[in-house]
Structure 1
Amino acid sequence: MHPAFSVVFFTTATGAGYGLLALLGLLGGLGFIPADFWLGLVGMALAFGLIVAGLLSSTGHLGRPERAWRAFSQWRSAWLSREGVASVVTFIPACIFGIGWVFLGKSGGWVAVAGLLAAAGAVTTVCTTGMIYASLKPIAQWHSRYTLPAYLIFAGMTGSVLTNALLQAFKQGSTAMLIGTLLATLAGWGWKLTTWRYNDRLEIPTTANTATGLAGGTVRSIEWPHTEENYLLKEMGFRIARKHSAKLRRITQAMAFAAPSVLLAVTFALPWPFAAIVSVAAAISQLAGILVERWLFFAEAKHTVMLYYGRE
């Protein structure tokens, strides 16, 4: 599939934004993170900024971005529409939580309820985003049991690394948060390796023979369906060389998982402000690595429509 940067950025930014929002709503609402004005303001602004930037970026891949609002009407059947509805609904409790926690300096009570609802909305929205891809049967690499959990795990991983960096910057860091962030990063690394292993061994059952229903021999096209490049070839016929794929996988592992894990482990032994600097570096490295991982997520996917063009 064609890895358009607008969609790559969308899935990375919204995942991190909703992960951060969920943790702030949960930990802030229940009082595990103190109701500090500047900490809360920066945290909520960062979460909202990532979410809004990601959602706006997603419209860049549309042929008519000004008609994006129409997608909301198809929520009964389309995961893309459900994602749009869930993202808008989530803003309601998130704003209520932000008012109570940031501007009124409160936690517990109705602030906790709003925070929990915001966290639930964030998780629901990430689920709908994952289902956009997991529900596509023509793309075997996405239509698997690994896709939806990956979106949830990566949202929790990037959200926790941002939360940890935020807390460290405001001298509110804790050993529990550091441990949780490190474990989330290791879980994301393990899940990504498992997914790659599954996709590399995946045998796609559909061939030109099964698609046409012609048994015996090998079905092949004697003439190209089109004489020039078209939309399907551009969007669904993108191919990446195996050597480039292997190199980008190593970059992903180094930037998204290995470097943040080392930096987070080092943070345990560092005083402030060095712990804050290293934590921010871990967050930057991880988000950059996830951008590469998302690019590969699209580039390595193969759409069965390409059988029509004689590509296995």
Structure 2
Amino acid sequence: MHPAPSVIFFSTFSGLGFGLLIFLGLGMPAVTGLSAFAFFAIAYVLAVGGLISSTFHLGRPERALKAFSQWRTSWLSREAWCAVAALILMALYGAGLVFFDQRWTLLGLLGAAASLGTVFTTSMIYAQLKTVPRWNSPLTPANFLSICIAGGALMSGQVTWAIVLLLLAGGIQIATWMRGDTAFADSGTDMATATGLGSIGTVRAFEPPHTGTNYLLREFVYVIGRKHALKLRIIAISLMVILPVFFLLLSFNHWLGLLAALAHITGVFAARWLFFAQAEHVVGLYYGKR
């Protein structure tokens, strides 16, 4: 799949923002007044900024509101509803902390649940796609949720939780890569099954469907070399997990916390780029690219 910058930005920053909202909803850290305002401002800039960036990948952004009408069948629509619910609930909860010095626990828990639900529905947009075997796995939502929660712990200053959750997220990320590398072959999809002609003999492409490029090739057939992918994986896991954990294990201060957060975000960017760049869509079989 084509690794569009807008979608990478969206999946990285919205996950981080909603992860921070989850911890704020759970009362971690226990802040009020201006401190609470600062934490909520950061969370909303990340979450809302990420959501807005996703619209730049739409051909007709002005039609985005129509997504809310398809909640019965569309994970994208469910994501939209969960995001709105989370942002409204957490805004009310945050107002209590900032302006009234009140912690409305039930509202915070509901907001945290909606924030978690938003990231889960985002992940299911990809996990439901049987046409992309690498994504069609329970490891996809596990990957999105683990990175979201680990990032939230890191951003909220929960050092012990952050160390444990970052290591867990790293393990799930590695498992996702390992499973994904064999997913296309394990799916049993090839040119014979794609055309339905396998029963009459060996199926191969006589010639390319056309001589030029088109939308399908640009969006769904993206190839990255194995050596480059391995290098990026090492960079991603080092920045996303190993370096932040190293900083957190030192005598913690705000500067080390900032370095840990920046390293983590950069690592997630690399991992998200690979998430899209290595996703083999079965339409590539039609063009002899798989």
After TM superposition, the runs of 4+ consecutive aligned structure 1 residues lying more than 6 A away are: none
TM-score (norm 2): 0.96
For the 8 Å contact 1:182–1:264, the answer to whether it is kept is: yes
Instruction: Give the Cα–Cα distance (whole angstroms) in 2 for the partners of residues 98 and 149 of structure 1.
Output: 28
SS in 2 for 1:142: coil
Q: Deviations over 1:11-38 (max 9, x none)?
A: 011100000001001125xxxx333322
Instruction: Check conservation: 1:35, 1:106, Cα contact below 8 A.
Output: no
| Aligned twin of 2:193 | 210
Separation in 2 of the partners of 1:94 and 1:118? 5
Structure 2 gap segments, 5+ residues each: none
Question: Whole-Å Cα distance in 1 between the matches of residues 237 and 145 of structure 2?
Answer: 18
Question: Hey, what does 1:74 align to over in structure 2?
Answer: 70
CA contact (8 A) 1:35 1:105 kept: no
Which moved further from structure 2: 88-97 or 54-63?
A: 88-97
* Structure 1, unpaired ranges of 5+: 165-176
Deviation at 1:311, TM superposition (A): 2.0
Q: 2:48 aligns with which of 48, 52, 55?
A: 52
Matches within 5 A, 1:276-291: 276-291=254-269
Corresponding position: 1:259 with 2:243: yes
Counting matched residue pairs gives 287
Q: Which position in structure 1 is the counterpart of 2:173?
A: 192
Instruction: Please tell me the root mean square deviation across aligned C-alpha atoms, in Å.
Output: 1.2
Aligned match of 1:230: 214
> Does the CA-based 8 Å contact 1:135-1:143 persist in structure 2?
yes
CA deviation profile, 1:116-165 (whole Å, cap 9, x unmatched): 1110110111110010000001000000120011111010011111111x
Q: Is 1:299 the equivalent of 2:258?
A: no
Q: Does 1:16 align with 2:20?
A: no
Give the drift of 1:57.
Answer: 0.3
Q: How does 1:67-216 map to 2 (within 5 A)?
A: 67-107=63-103, 111-164=104-157, 177-202=158-183, 203=185, 204-214=187-197, 215=199
2:15·2:119 contact (CA, 8 Å) conserved in 1? yes
Question: How far off is 1:115 after superposition?
Answer: 0.7
Worse overlay, 33-42 or 69-78: 33-42
Superposed displacement of residue 39, structure 1: 1.6
Identical aligned pairs, as a percentage? 42
Query: Structure 1 residue 245 and structure 2 residue 223: aligned?
Result: no
- AA paired with 1:41? F
The amino acid of 1:194's aligned partner reads A
Using the alignment, how far apart are the partners of 1:35 and 1:105 within structure 2? 9
Question: When the two structures are superposed, what TM-score results if normalisation uses the length of structure 1?
Answer: 0.89
Matched, 1:310 2:288: yes
Is 1:65 matched up with 2:48?
A: no
Per-residue deviation at 1:217?
4.1
Amino acid at match of 2:32: D
3-state SS of the aligned residue for 2:202?
Answer: coil
* Corresponding residue of 2:204: 220
- CA drift of 1:241 comes to 1.1
